[in-house]
Homo-oligomer: A and B are copies of this chain.
Amino acid sequence: MLVVQKFGGSSVANAERVRNVASIIADTYRAGNDVVVVVSAQGDTTDDLIEKAAEINPRASKRELDMLMTAGEQMSASLLAMALKAMGLPAISLLGWQIGMQTDSNYGNARIKKIDSERLNMELSRRNIIIVAGFQGINKYDDITTLGRGGSDTTAVAIAATLKADLCQIFTDVDGVYTADPRKVTGAKKLDVITYDEMLELATLGAQVLHNRSVEMAKKYNVNMEVCSSLERVPGTKVKEVATTMEKMLIRGVAKDNNVARVTIVGIADVPGMAYKIFSVLSQAKINVDIILQSIGRDGSKDIVFTVSADQKDEVVEALKDVECLQSALEVNVDTDVTKLSIVGAGMESHPGVASQMFEALFSNNINIQMIATSEIKISVLIDKKDADRAVQAVHDIFFDK
């Protein structure tokens, strides 16, 4: 079996942890598998480098920042190869350019175009364990690029897709994907399996286990992923196209997202094209709008309510000033004391009762619902931030504690 394993920065933060990671890799290799490992920079290396750059040039070019940052993964990759060799195993570290990790030229947030599998296949044919420096690639000018947030996960999935690996394991400091945040919700259960789409919805909702980009790529190339812990040797959560235990579980998880702002525009003229004008301006300002609610027109005016990421609330207010026809609107309110609570599950599509169960749980706990949005595999509601934790527990109880 060919296995790609990815280890994040905290998993290789010091010599002891590097040795721990090496022992996980060693077990996989000794079980007869071919192994390609993708590794992030050690612990705080990236932050330290950013600080060094800021001291010298607070507005450093992204090209030079990428040159600087990628040294971090170079160091961790070579150290991990050394640790494996100390255990008597054949290992070789390789950088982005050495495995032909071709990207576009968007420094700091580059997209992968292709990987030349030649070097990887040659090293595998020699039964070498390959340690790839994650997060990095090169563009057509042979300059070094980085892949942005979640870049090492994406590196791992891209390599798994290129080599048609049997499994791509993402090791983190949690041991899998849970039905809710296990630190906060009583009775949260680890999932054995989850579909790509469910994982995507949960990642968006702040489950923070996998970055969306890697899951999207895994879905596109049908790469079997597994989220596992680098600290405990227990089975993790598999991420794949079809989750076979689906029938038994209506929903996969309950998640909340506190990074939400609700924007209310009161008293817009009730004429055609208003929504178009507002949302095209926001789109031009690169603001992602999530839930949208429009009141029915009355007395020649209507209200529009929508949610955006709380980080972008000031940009929203700024952008709305450019919408001429809004000058006559009565009021623009921004409220960040809200939370988006969502349940995700591919099973809900065929079970119409799911939404009402969720609403029942909230109602019986006296929690007011401000907005509702649904997709085929997700139901989201906007509630008061102060009710958030209570709401997550109540909704989780109704689906998982019965």
Residues of A whose CB lies within 8 Å of any CB of B are: 15, 18-19, 49, 52-53, 55-57, 59-61, 63-65, 67-68, 70-72, 74-75, 77-79, 81-83, 85-86, 92-93, 95, 97-98, 119, 142-144
Contact = CB atoms under 8 A, between A and B. Distances in A.
B142 A56 contact: no
A64 B52 contact: no
Contact of A98 (B49, B98, B142): B142
B82 A75 contact: no
Contacts of A86: 56-57, 59-60
Contact of A60 (B15, B70, B82): B82
A19 B78 CA distance: 30
A127 to B, nearest CB: 16
A67 B56 contact: no
A117 to B, nearest CB: 15
* Copies of this chain assembled into the complex: 2
Given A74-B71, A97-B97, A119-B142, A64 B49 contact: no
A252 to B, nearest CB: 39
Interface residues of A, dominant DSSP: helix
13 contacts: A18-B56, A19-B56, A49-B75, A52-B79, A53-B79, A53-B82, A56-B83, A57-B86, A64-B93, A67-B77, A67-B81, A71-B72, A74-B74
A339 B100 CA distance: 54
Contact of A74 (B65, B67, B85): B67
A245 to B, nearest CB: 41
Contacts of A67: 74, 77-78, 81, 93, 95
Nearest to A69: B78
A76 to B, nearest CB: 10
A132 to B, nearest CB: 12
Contacts of A57: 82-83, 85-86
Contact of A82 (B18, B61, B81, B144): B61
A95 B74 CA distance: 13
B71 A56 contact: no
Contacts of A93: 64, 67
Nearest to A142: B98
A19 B55 CA distance: 10
A86 to B, nearest CB: 4
A234 to B, nearest CB: 26
A365 to B, nearest CB: 52
B98 A78 contact: no
Contacts of A60: 82, 85-86
Nearest to A93: B67
B68 A78 contact: yes
